[in-house]
Amino acid sequence: MANLYYCSDGSRVSEAQIKQKYSVAIRQKHVGQSFFTCQACLKERAVDNSHIISKARLKQLHKTELIWHPMAFFDSCRNCHNCWESWKSGDYLFQVNIVTTLKYLLQHDHESFLKRTEHEYDTVEKNQRLLWAIRNI
Ligand SMILES: [Zn+2]
């Protein structure tokens, strides 16, 4: 019996269903595009789809349907993907899409939003950038 993961409406989906729905969402998001620029730095070529909230976390939150929601992930270069995940360094705060990603986190994963926004970062610039981003949400 395959593992099933909960969606917000109480329905459950298998890993195979998740993969299928996610691959459709990626294709729909990229219709007519052949080259992807990283949405976090607007410089590098995107090689990943970076989930704002990780797929494992979405399953844990019983919001599995967000894995294939078009706003849940963005085209990303490897470096920006790592920056977003290794958030304690604060480097992610300088990403171009920081207001969008923090806003998404606030809406869908309040606990993770608080972890990032109540954290004391190691430079004045990072803490100022965080305040700026929060004001713009
Ligand atoms: Zn990038």
Q: What is the pLDDT along the chain (137 residues), one digit of tens a residue?
A: 679 999 999 999 999 999 999 999 999 988 888 788 999 999 999 999 999 999 999 999 999 999 999 999 999 999 999 999 999 999 999 999 999 999 999 999 999 999 999 999 999 999 999 999 999 99
CA 39–ligand 1 middle distance (angstroms):
7
Nearest to 84 by CA among 37, 36, 51, 117: 51
**What's 93's DSSP letter?**
G
CA 82–ligand 1 middle distance (angstroms):
9
CA distance 68 to 26: 8
Which H or E run includes 87?
A: none
CA 11–ligand 1 middle distance (angstroms):
35
CA 3–ligand 1 middle distance (angstroms):
34
CA 40–ligand 1 middle distance (angstroms):
5
CA distance 53 to 48: 14
Contacts of 8 (CB under 8 A, 6+ apart): 62, 63, 65
Global pTM? Answer: 0.92
CA distance 103 to 98: 8
Domain residue ranges of the chain, discontinuous segments joined by +: 4-135
CA end-to-end span of the chain: 43
CA 63–ligand 1 middle distance (angstroms):
27
